A and B are shown apart, each in its own frame.
Chain A
Amino acid sequence: MRGMTLIVKQITNLMVPSILLLGIYVVLHGHLTPGGGFAGGVLIAGCFTLLILAYGSENIKSEAKKMQASLTESIGIFLFWFITIIGLLNGTYFFYNIIAKTNPGEPFKLFSAGIIPLCNIAIGIEVGAALFSIFITLAILKVGERL
């Protein structure tokens, strides 16, 4: 897929850091402001999709990018399942909010609400990598190609 004109490339240069920073902010402050894991994750996926759309997919190593996205998504879902068995390893139930019971922070601060920010980070990584890998699998497809 070819890239776009020079104006689009320059505007993309200016906007991609801001969108990525906004996505990470929405993921980290998921327990204080609207947003959370899913909203921040799709924002991060949209940022990477914008890069591929503006610069074209001819100059990148597409197969390597697909493998990297798939690996990141697997790490994200594995991290989420690992967080659910933290409570089981420490003597309570499965998926128990154990950090909120042993050292709760003050409300409305960044370090509070127990297990919820960690789950938000894992879901953000997983959803972002999943949507980006769907896009890049469809973008580099050549219909009718045989190995």
Chain B
Amino acid sequence: MTTLIILTILMIFGAIVALESKDILSGIISLGIIGFALTINFLLLKAPDLAIVQIIIETLTLIILIAAVLKTTREETVEKFGTQKVLLWAIGIIFIIVFVYSSVRIFNHLPEFGEQSLRMAKVYIDQGLTLTGAGNLVAAVILDFRGYDTLGEATVLFTSVVGVMAVLRKVGRKRS
């Protein structure tokens, strides 16, 4: 469990570096640190399906962001220290303090970390093998017990790819 805490603190440091760096490209590369630490966290939480999906999708996110940055520009925008910036900072910090305080109050009602009562998943664990015949319980959940979510997700992925191909095509008119 201490490895989990140390890796999450590493993710927080990586996030601060990614947002505050002056060069956009180094910010994107430190986004990769967060993704790899998250993969090891998923393995420590006994979720191998999530680790396989997370490591490759994180690499593909890095590739997409680097391709976009190298085609346009690499510099950070220059900001002057004016009154608008101080106001934005103050609003941001106040909102974040209120958010963290109220979520700490809410966490006292959740069960302790590691003492999950499995109230919703009892039927899935006890009768998953006999009702569906699949050994992988996560596959049985996403394709047999909650199949509509997977149907919606496949359609949303298809729609986003149609959107990307429509935005990034050649514009203009052929002159013949």
Instruction: Give yes or no for direct A-B contact (beta carbon below 8 Å).
Output: yes
Residues of the A chain whose Cβ atoms lie less than 8 Å from the Cβ of B72: 143
The number of residues on chain B lying at the interface, defined by a beta carbon within 8 Å of a beta carbon of chain A, is 43
The number of residues on chain A lying at the interface, defined by a beta carbon within 8 Å of a beta carbon of chain B, is 54
Distance (whole angstroms) from the CB of A76 to the closest CB of chain B: 8
Distance (whole angstroms) from the CB of A67 to the closest CB of chain B: 10
- Asked if B23 is at the interface of the complex by the 8 Å CB criterion, the answer is no
- Asked if A105 is at the interface of the complex by the 8 Å CB criterion, the answer is yes
Residues of the B chain whose Cβ atoms lie less than 8 Å from the Cβ of A43: 52, 56
> How far is it, in angstroms, between the C-alpha of A49 and the C-alpha of B135 when the chains are bound?
32
Residues A133 and B154 in contact in the complex (CB < 8 Å), given A39-B49, A147-B173: no
B52 touches A34 (CB 8 A): yes
> Main SS of chain B's interface residues?
helix
A113-147 contacts to B, CB under 8 A, are 113-116, 119-120, 123, 126-127, 130-131, 133-135, 137-139, 141, 143, 145-147
Give me the interface of B with A, judged by CB distance under 8 Å. Answer: 48-49, 52-53, 56-57, 59-60, 63-64, 67-68, 71-72, 129, 132-136, 138-140, 142-144, 147-148, 150-151, 154-155, 157-158, 161, 164-165, 168, 170-174
Give me the interface of A with B, judged by CB distance under 8 Å. Answer: 26, 30-39, 42-43, 45-46, 49, 53, 66, 70, 73, 77, 80-81, 84, 95, 97, 100, 104-105, 107-108, 112-116, 119-120, 123, 126-127, 130-131, 133-135, 137-139, 141, 143, 145-147
